[in-house]
Amino acid sequence: MGDAHVGLQARLMSQALRKLTGAISRSKTAVIFINQLRMKIGVMYGNPETTTGGNALKFYASVRLDIRKVDAIKEGNETVGTRVRVKVVKNKVAPPFRQAEFDIMYNEGISVAGNLLDVATDLGIIRKSGAWYYLGEERLGQGRENAKAFLKANPDLMREIEQRIRQAAPELRGRIHYDGSAGEESETEAAATSLFDI
């Protein structure tokens, strides 16, 4: 790799994004770039991590998310999912710098039951005592994965918990429901929902 190649990727990204942004906007297409982290050399203070490809992608992006693995979700010895922490680094369509943690289950996607369990526990709708989860006096399960399995097996209970969450947290009303159906908001507002609604 000689001097002629230094900054070549950054220049190409800048040219490509200048040409693509108009076409992407007109066709109402969502484009997702996945980038890896590199370490800056000689950084004493601040974050030494950076993404490759220059500054053009950072400038043109409407939303930038920093997604990191927190934990592996296991059933016995088999890994069945990943607990991730997402930080919103940049957001032109909603408030930036928010953070969320959720489960990504293999062959399923983002775990709806896990999200309901987390939010309901945070709001005090579901009570956690030791390893057990309770809804009122009803035991949901021992351990998070058992409680999630119980919720998945009881969709009526999931709907009831969702309604109680919406009553306890009015700012969540009208967002996309756990079954994927739209709420009371317009399509534009629904597109800018929080990470809870992904």
The verdict on residue 40 lying in a domain is yes
Q: How many domains is the chain built from?
A: 1
The verdict on residue 17 lying in a domain is yes
CB 180 within 8 A of CB 85: no
Range of the domain at 13: 1-60
The closest alpha carbon to 87, from 68, 105, 60, 103, belongs to 68
Tokens of 172: 């969540």
**Does the pLDDT of residue 158 top 90, yes or no?**
yes
Higher-pLDDT residue of 76 and 171 is 76
Tokens of 118: 């987390």
The verdict on residue 127 lying in a domain is no
The 3-state DSSP class for residue 163 equals helix
DSSP category for residue 147 = H
pTM over 0.85: no
Taking the C-alpha atoms of residue 192 and residue 62, their distance in angstroms, rounded to an integer, is: 11
Query: Which pLDDT score, from 0 to 100, does residue 198 have?
Result: 41
Taking the C-alpha atoms of residue 68 and residue 82, their distance in angstroms, rounded to an integer, is: 10
The verdict on residue 165 lying in a domain is no
